[in-house]
């Protein structure tokens, strides 16, 4: 999903920047302008997570729909964490603050909603 893709693209973007290819990153991955490629592939995915992290999704096997799958939330939390750092690196303090706030929201229920004291459950809809 978008959280995993954003995290992977941030890793790639950091490698490109380290290799002197920051122009490519600024042209396609983080444009800083929502009218150009929706802000870039990374920003587009991170903003999608911000807007929809609590929307109903399906599990890996598409058997159950639920708004709160542990694995989805864990990947989205990671994306917000590295996304905030990357946004700062790209000079976008407003997006960094938004991603940090969203990560805090996701984190506030990550374990309380999924850990029952003995094990982590995927979601409340999965009873087996």
Measured over the CA atoms of residue 1, residue 6, residue 32 and residue 54, the dihedral's sign is positive
Q: Is 51 annotated as catalytic? A: no
Candidate list 62, 63, 94, 118, residue with the active-site label: 62
Q: Is residue 71 within 8 Å of residue 57, measured between CB atoms?
A: no
Q: Is 62 annotated as catalytic? A: yes
Question: Among residues 54, 122, 17, 50, which one has the least CA distance to residue 39?
Answer: 50
Q: Is residue 79 within 8 Å of residue 2, measured between CB atoms?
A: yes
Question: Among residues 100, 63, 68, which one has the least CA distance to residue 83?
Answer: 100
Measured over the CA atoms of residue 37, residue 53, residue 101 and residue 6, the dihedral's sign is negative
Candidate list 54, 59, 66, 122, residue with the active-site label: 59
Q: Kindly list the catalytic residues.
A: 59, 62
């Amino acid at each position: 999903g978008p959280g995993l893709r954003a995290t992977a693209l941030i890793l790639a973007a950091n490698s490109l920047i380290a290799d002197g290819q920051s122009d490519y990153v600024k042209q396609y991955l983080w444009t800083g302008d929502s009218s150009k490629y929706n802000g870039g592939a990374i920003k587009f995915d991170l903003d999608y997570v911000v807007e929809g992290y609590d929307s109903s999704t399906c599990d890996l096997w598409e058997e159950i729909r639920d708004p709160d799958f542990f694995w989805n939330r864990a990947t989205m939390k990671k994306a917000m964490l590295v996304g905030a750092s990357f946004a700062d690196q790209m000079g976008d303090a407003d997006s960094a603050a938004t991603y940090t706030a969203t990560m805090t929201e996701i984190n506030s229920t990550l374990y309380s909603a999924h850990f029952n004291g003995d094990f982590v459950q995927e979601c409340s809809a999965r009873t087996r």
